[in-house]
Amino acid sequence: MKKLICIAIGLIVAQLAPMAVAQQSEQAPASPSPKLQWQFSPYSYHFSPSDDHKPVFMVGLEREHASGKLDGLTFFSNSFGQECLYIYPWGGVYKNIFGVAPLSFKWTAGLLYGYTEPYENKVPFNYKGFSPGAIIALAYEFKPGWSAQVNALGTAALMFQLNVPFK
């Protein structure tokens, strides 16, 4: 787990460093600061349950920019009880889906780490525990800043998630 934390911290610093070094132009209007949200998932539904499956738990932090860009970091136990990390520097959110103001569509893409022997073949393109990751989701904001979300985890499962403002 120490290795995962070191990797996560390194990737967060790499993501935030350019913003710290850049100086804002005097002519550029100030943009609203990104919204931070805690993410929690107590349950995932597997399409093909197996005796090998363990409960999946997830906690994460997501940043939504005024432009609709998303990025974030999640720690989770995978379906086989292994500790994992998903860091996604790419993503987006599209609000007001189907004319329903609180409904939004989200996508994220990034790097997944943690699927190791004997489950390394459970995710595509895995190399020594590292593989690309991509998730699509529908979220419903039921209270300002608070939302319930359903994530599609490939063809394997649906993850049910709660997003809470980080204050």
* Whole-number Å distance between alpha carbons of 159 and 152: 7
Q: What's the whole-model pTM score? A: 0.80
Which architecture, in CATH terms, is 37-165? Beta Barrel (2.40)
Q: What is the mean pLDDT of the chain?
A: 87
**Using 50, 70 and 90 to split pLDDT, how confident is the model at 98?**
very high
Candidates 84, 82, 64; CA nearest to 74 is 84
pLDDT per residue as tens digits for the range 40-83: 999 999 999 999 999 999 999 999 999 999 999 999 999 999 99
- Given a cut of 70, whether residue 26 has pLDDT beyond it is no
**For position 32, what pLDDT does the model report?**
83
- Given a cut of 80, whether residue 6 has pLDDT beyond it is no
* Whole-number Å distance between alpha carbons of 119 and 17: 35
* Whole-number Å distance between alpha carbons of 128 and 136: 25
**Using 50, 70 and 90 to split pLDDT, how confident is the model at 2?**
low
